[in-house]
Amino acid sequence: MPASPAKRSLTVGVLGGMGPDATVDFMAKVLAATPASSDQEHVHMLIDHNPHVPDRTCAILQGDGDPGSVLAGMAKQLERAGADIIVMPCNTAHAFQRDIEAALDVPFVSIIDETVAACSGYEAVGLLATRGCLASGIYDAALSASGVRAVMPDDDETTAFMELAASIKAGDSGPEIGARMLQLANALVARGALAVIAGCTEIPLVLDQSMLDVPLISSTDILAEATVAYALGTRELDNRPQGSTA
């Protein structure tokens, strides 16, 4: 007898290109997290790999550009193409989450919410993220609401982080960049962080768990694992119409 057809998994729309290497890393981690023994058992992903989205940090800090409308348009196109859920492997861009959700009739899975949920049980966590992400307060607010204290980088550390992120985006993910990123993470640990959030998807390109003495909470890995779980139905989605979200 022919085998019974497998249950259809959800099609995932990915808002990508921010940055390009980080999007490829996310896709690879979705593949690695999928319990598949054939092509047909993998997650169907529709990718809008758009590196031309206006700079998110410039928009947050200076009001330059309009990433929200661009991201909303990308998300709607993915929905029209058949995406059942939308994800975005860029932390800073979640400052524009409401713009995206307002355009959608399918669920948007937040990398911020998924990452903060993974911080449960830690009294204090360090946060490595872009200046725009930090200024937006999206992580600080979510961590505070969950009863977790955020250990933030100081201004000099944030400047150093921005330089490292720019180097990674320019293609330098060598050991010197990794060592400097580790120094920033260890500075947060020295100030009381019991774990460190990699709150920028460039970070896992140079920093991994083997380099740290405390848990590294990689937002890329967490979003990839959540994406697979939602797509395959092992976790339940909130199916509220997103356009009705305040």
Residue 4: inside a domain: no
Would you call 114 helix, strand, or coil by DSSP? helix
Would you call 11 helix, strand, or coil by DSSP? coil
Residues annotated as part of the active site: 90, 200
**pLDDT at 242 (0 to 100):** 44
Residue 3: inside a domain: no
**pLDDT at 241 (0 to 100):** 41
**What CATH number should be reported for the domain holding residue 98?**
3.40.50.1860
Residue 139: inside a domain: yes
> Within this chain, do residues 213 and 161 fall inside the same structural domain, yes or no?
yes
Question: What are φ and ψ of residue 118, in 5° steps?
Answer: -75, -10
> Within this chain, do residues 162 and 72 fall inside the same structural domain, yes or no?
no
> Within this chain, do residues 212 and 117 fall inside the same structural domain, yes or no?
yes
Residue 2: inside a domain: no
Give per-10-residue mean pLDDT for the chain (246 aa).
59 97 98 96 98 98 96 98 98 98 98 97 98 98 97 98 97 97 98 98 98 98 98 83 39
Residue 170: inside a domain: yes
Number of domains in the chain: 2
Residue 1: inside a domain: no
7: number of Cβ within 10 Å: 7
Which range marks the domain in which residue 28 is found? 12-110+222-244
Categorise residue 141: left if φ over 0, alpha if ψ from -120 to 50, beta otherwise. Answer: alpha
Residue 5: inside a domain: no
